[in-house]
Amino acid sequence: MLRLTLPLASALAAGLLMDGLGMPQVQPAPNGTWVPFTARYTETSTSRDSAGHQTNQQVAIVETRSKDGSLLSVRSENGQVTSGSLWDSCGQMFSLDYLQKRAVLSRQAPREHTKMPSAPPTGTQTVAGVSCLVYPIRGAVAGTTCHDVVNDIPLRIEWHMNSGRVQQNYQKELTSIDFATPVDASMVSIPAGFTKLVPDSGSPLGCAAKK
């Protein structure tokens, strides 16, 4: 049952717009306004059925963002890098398979800054030494997101959902972040040696540098 949580978990963790969930919306990002960083997160997913059987999964995530807004997220399970995603400044979103060394263009969406809801936050928290504003998640799931609005970085996302007779819980929380070490553009790109799989119509205009 845990697998049912992963597509929704990944979308929320990536900060994508989820219709009906009350998540922050997005607005166009002016060029050169992104704050580079390297951050480490712990992602925990649990699923419990009506018989009391519980499945747990914990994943370590390293996210790196360059000054052009490109965001690379790398996932490790039991110490082994298994998968990841790249959302480049052109809006191309690649799913990365580190076991097969493949980068597959999954979709395209503008790389944009987060626009927080007009309603005031419900509070403030400090996560790994960074202050964030707390907003509720409403709709299909119940939870909260805590966002560093100064640097536009989600620090903690957690939600709970009952699906049929299965209770699902998800949390992604920042454990450390580095703003000081420079982020080279090569660090936020498809890894060397990967096969890039893109449909003939998949690359938008103006992204020659990303090919």
Q: Compute mean pLDDT per 10 residues along the chain, 211 residues long, and list them.
A: 34 37 47 86 92 90 96 96 95 96 93 84 96 89 92 95 86 97 92 88 53 41
What number of helices (H) and strands (E) belong to the chain?
A: 1, 14
Q: Is there a contact between 86 and 190 (Cβ–Cβ < 8 Å)?
A: yes
Alpha carbons 181 and 122: distance in angstroms, whole number: 33
Q: Token digits for 204?
A: 């938008």
The pLDDT, as a whole number, for residue 207 is 63
Whole-model pTM: value is: 0.81
pLDDT at 34: 93
Q: What is the pLDDT of residue 3?
A: 29
List strands edge to edge, sheet with 54-65. Answer: 123-127, 130-137, 142-148, 153-163, 166-178, 37-48, 54-65, 71-77, 80-87, 92-97, 102-108, 195-197
